[in-house]
Structure 1
Amino acid sequence: MTATSLATHELRKAFGGVTALDGATVEFQHGKVNALIGPNGSGKTTFFNCVTGMIKPDSGVVSYAGKDITGKAPHRIARHGLGRTFQLCRTFPRMTALENVLSAVQPKGLIGGLRGAKRRSEIDRAMSWLTRLGIEHLAGNEARDMSWGQQKLLELAGVLMAEPATVLLDEPAGGVNPALLDRIGVLVRELNAEGRTFVIVEHNMDLVMSISDHIVVFDRGRPIAEGPPSVIKTDERVLGAYLGV
């Protein structure tokens, strides 16, 4: 039996009269590449926001590595080993790529942190992540001067700088050209082989099917199917609603 990394039980969240999560009970597998798919409005990003503390669920439980993290502040959840990217990149536009990555691990605030980030070891580690993502040549460039795909890679570098055990990626393929998309896919599999767990929200089915070990399908705020790609590909509900077959 595969261990559980991240799980929710009866998670609920409504915005006014609109129910975004409707009793979502989900388990993602430790040490695997998990995917969360479903149509727009099915609750995927709200789920990520509740799990990572960006918003508080109305009810239900979020657990990670056996610990209840429901409703904790994002920085406290991050300290448990959860890292997360966003649909819309969250970088500091007037800071260089290197400064963006260094800022991801500073505990005393941005300005004070950057002053203390001149330690050679931290700079070397930040540069190693930029290199691994193929954007080391942009280390001195401000984030605002980078392409959308490059900013996606930069955001991911910042997340990885904090050394999370589990990484949540929110639509990593969105607006990314095929070459960069291939790089992201290869990197996810490499990092997974090194021991990191992934949970990926994504609409690009080619990417999902090629890199995922376990897939959860959402509809109307709750899971309707789960399993390996081979099972999801043949599930009638998924075929009809999401894969267009």
Structure 2
Amino acid sequence: MTSKKAGEVVAKAEGAEDTIRAFGERLLKTIGDESKRSFARRCGFSDGLLSAYLKGEKAPGMRHLVMIAKAAGVSLDWLATGCDGRAAEVETKLPGLALNGMGLEAVLLPAIERFLDCLGKEREFVIELVAGGSSPVWMLARERRPLDEKGGYCFAASGCNEVEALLRLRRKIQKGISRRYLALAPDASLHMLTDTLVGYVGEGVLVIDGRALSPEILVELLERRRGEHFVFQFPPWED
């Protein structure tokens, strides 16, 4: 069950409890020897709400994450995800904004971000918030392509808040475009670079390396491996 009140994101979604509990543990380390009442006042909210965060009963929304990070002088990355424990000066941002890696620049979604693939080619992605206001928060990244052109990379990631979801999505994009599975031969035919093909199923096509392949092209690829055994598998959904 989820509810939203005064900009807070209260998470009770299945599978999110461990993430919220881990946040409470980081928050406790952040408070240190200071009293909970004093720390809550410096953050600008009630000590009752702070206790709920510490007990893992609630997950803070973007506004309260930034307020806590600013009051404690810690990295927003570390506070939200446990990564990057370096101290960082964090500016206050309005709720509804996702923040970049160090939490110093606001990114209003949907946004366009650019990444370099394994060949050094710059690829543009449109990043959208597809499920917010509850936990988990889901974000989607689609590679920008001409309207009449099929294919393009597509990635999704979730988190207990916007910061965690955005950081996971960025890591997923970078990992996904850092490797190629197909190469173009001199005769313009495709051949496999490894024994594995990774991609996703699009509308009437399979998308591998951001390239839309018709079922016929896939059959041609497999014909070259005639006589070999294979495993056709859809992996479990991962972030």
Normalising by the residue count of structure 1, what TM-score does the alignment of the two structures yield? Answer: 0.25
Larger Rg: 2
* Higher RCO (C-alpha under 8 Å, 6+ residues apart): 1
More helix by share: 1
Normalising by the residue count of structure 2, what TM-score does the alignment of the two structures yield? Answer: 0.26
